[in-house]
Amino acid sequence: MGRIILRLDRVMADRKMSLNELSERVGVANVNLSKLKNGHISAIRFSTLTAICEALHCQPGDILEYAPDAPAEEAEAPQ
């Protein structure tokens, strides 16, 4: 199974927005946004994602990226 990579830190840097400013604009606690930014979450509400996208003027795909697992042959290949 693949995984989702969070790129919130990159988008925030591109927009020159601090975690504190994003927290104020979105209405989500600083600690929760920090967990999101660092990838320490397993779920996100659509309402939170919508608010983040509105604050950063971006699309969900700018923040979330899907990374498939490597095929079994590549994972088991000798190095």
For strand 64-67 and strand 3-6, is the pairing parallel, antiparallel, or unpaired? antiparallel
Domain span at residue 8? 3-73
CATH no. for residue 47?
Answer: 1.10.260.40
Q: Quote the tokens at residue 14.
A: 């591109």
pLDDT digits (tens, 9 = 90+) for 24-66: 999 999 999 999 999 899 899 999 999 999 999 999 999 999 9
> Cα separation of 72 and 33, whole Å?
35
Structural domain count of the chain: 1
Note whether residue 23 is domain-resident: yes
Note whether residue 43 is domain-resident: yes
pTM over 0.85: no
Structure confidence at residue 17 as a pLDDT band (50, 70, 90): very high
Q: Quote the tokens at residue 4.
A: 């989702």
Assign 37 to helix, strand or coil. Answer: helix
Note whether residue 78 is domain-resident: no
pLDDT of res. 70: 82
Note whether residue 48 is domain-resident: yes
> Cα separation of 34 and 73, whole Å?
36
